A = this chain, B = another copy of it.
Amino acid sequence: MRLTQSLCRAIQVRPEGLATIDGERRRSWREVGDRVARLAAGLQALGVAPGDRVAVLAHNCDRFFEAYFAILWAGAAIVPLNTRLGGRELVEQITDSGAGTLFFGREFSATVADLQRDLASPPRCIGLDDDGAPANGTLEALIAAHEPAIEVARGGDELAGIFYTSGTSGQAKGVMLSHDNLAAMAVNLVMCIQLDEGCINLHCAPMFHLGDIGTFMVTMVAGTHVFVRQLDAAKILGLVASERITHVFTVPAMIDRLAKHPSARSTDISSLRVLGYGGAPMPMGTYEAARAAFPGVDFIQGFGMTEMPSHTFLGPRHHRVGADMEKMKSAGQASYGFEIMVIGPDGRELPRREVGEIVGRGDNVMSGYWNRPGETASVLRDGWLHTGDVGFMDEEGFVYITDRKKDMIITGAENVYSLEVENVVSRHPSVDECAVIGVPDEYWGERVHAIVVPKAGARLDFSELDAFCRREIAAYKCPKSLELRSERLPRSAAGKVLKRELRTRYWQGRERAV
């Protein structure tokens, strides 16, 4: 399959139907299709060839969506950049991916100016917005200047995008997803959520992240995309009412904010059919608040990772009153046609309820890491992706995640590798020893927490450490709390810090240790 096939179909079957809504701007599928084809021609005129990588650095907006499909229409691959990254990280990812072109939103004009200074061979930088000091022209200018391009028919196993995810080594790895990978994700979501063209979906997670599942899924059914730049509870509730939103997919923390927002009860949410969430099971308190605030709405959980998006699914019936609430602690069952298994150290499947590593297989599993055959081989064996998540499966195939093999923290749906943060913290002149772990947090799911043994006589406080870290890494990776210790950190015989022991006191009384 080609991802653009679903766009072609949408143009054919719902030409006058609303494709995108962004504030006052509303466009039909016919208009969006025309703009995508013209923008693709513009990219080709700039020299973008099939197989080239084109990066995007922007908040959610309709033009991000148009750029996404124009890149594919031109036969290129998209590299969506995390808007929360620091300059050093952006330089790394643009360099690593070899992106020669970059679309950017107006909020990133200063960042782009820095990039053009810091990169040896900076990409062409095209403004998604008309204002904000466009560097090498704007999206609108490209659209205006070109006739629609004939679609470049790349698809199947060919590269559709490179999605960066933090690496254990501290360096981000580019996850290569093919057209078939992303189409398998989209098709699976349509099946599990039972979407149709009546869906009006709010892009309520950042579009650079596959946690925003809407881009391909909604296009597949020729539904309507609604975009919002700031993920603000009041704004989201207002859009649900004014745009008659039917589907919202987000993280439990945002559902908590929506449910507890003062205006939740007075908002007209009669259009809302599905509230989906991912990244973590929903805390019971949040769930009860949400069920009370949004009566009649179906809840859905999905679990996956960039390497294997939307792999499992926990449907509405497991969220309903009277359902076995134990299942809500799971990440759901394998999505249609995908496989999941819990294996022991010998690689063989374990009996139900025995704890081991979770592995998955399916058309959604990545082709590999960009230019990292060694790391690819270490996680992708015989078609099975080794997730590094540890857990068990019950008698009906529900998967419960209990721990993590990799030293990683998932905070606000972002992966943070402890090692990367430890590398920064340990460089602070007052730090003797340090460990960075995830601790439970009602808002973030897990919070990045630093445990530091200061050098003899040295002093360190949170705000100083925070300022130090923010100069080096993205804010979301920086420790949000600091614990100072005078005794040495517990270590194994081999000298490795015993993270599990450090985590124990924070996770006591909980069924999960992540």
Instruction: Name A's B-contacting residues (CB within 8 A).
Output: 1, 5-6, 8-9, 12-15, 153, 183-184, 187, 190-191, 194, 196, 220-221, 315, 333-334, 336-340, 361-363, 383, 393, 395-397
Contact = CB atoms under 8 A, between A and B. Distances in A.
A333 B221 CA distance: 12
B220 A336 contact: yes
A76 to B, nearest CB: 21
A339 B55 CA distance: 29
Closest 8 CB pairs of A and B: A12-B397, A13-B397, A194-B194, A13-B333, A190-B191, A9-B334, A220-B336, A6-B337
A377 to B, nearest CB: 19
Contacts of A395: 15
A396 B15 contact: yes
B12 A334 contact: yes
25 contacts: A1-B184, A1-B337, A1-B362, A5-B339, A5-B361, A6-B336, A8-B339, A9-B334, A9-B339, A9-B397, A12-B333, A12-B334, A12-B339, A12-B340, A13-B333, A15-B396, A15-B397, A183-B337, A187-B337, A190-B191, A190-B336, A191-B221, A194-B194, A220-B336, A221-B336
Contacts of A184: 1
Contacts of A190: 191, 336
Given A187-B187, A191-B187, A363-B1, A337 B9 contact: yes
Contacts of A191: 187, 190-191, 220-221
A155 to B, nearest CB: 10
Q: Which of A1, A336, A397 has the most chain B CB atoms inside 10 A of its CB?
A: A336
Nearest to A153: B383
Given A194-B194, A196-B194, A396-B15, A220 B337 contact: yes
Nearest to A220: B336
Contacts of A5: 337-339, 361-362
B9 A336 contact: yes
A190 B8 CA distance: 21
Contacts of A362: 1, 5
Contacts of A340: 12
Given A1-B363, A153-B383, 19 more contacts: A1-B337, A1-B362, A5-B338, A5-B362, A9-B333, A9-B336, A9-B337, A9-B397, A12-B333, A12-B339, A12-B393, A13-B397, A14-B396, A15-B395, A187-B336, A187-B337, A190-B336, A191-B191, A221-B336
A287 to B, nearest CB: 22
Nearest to A395: B15
Contacts of A315: 196
Contacts of A1: 184, 337, 362-363
Nearest to A188: B187
A333 to B, nearest CB: 5
A338 B397 contact: no
A354 to B, nearest CB: 15
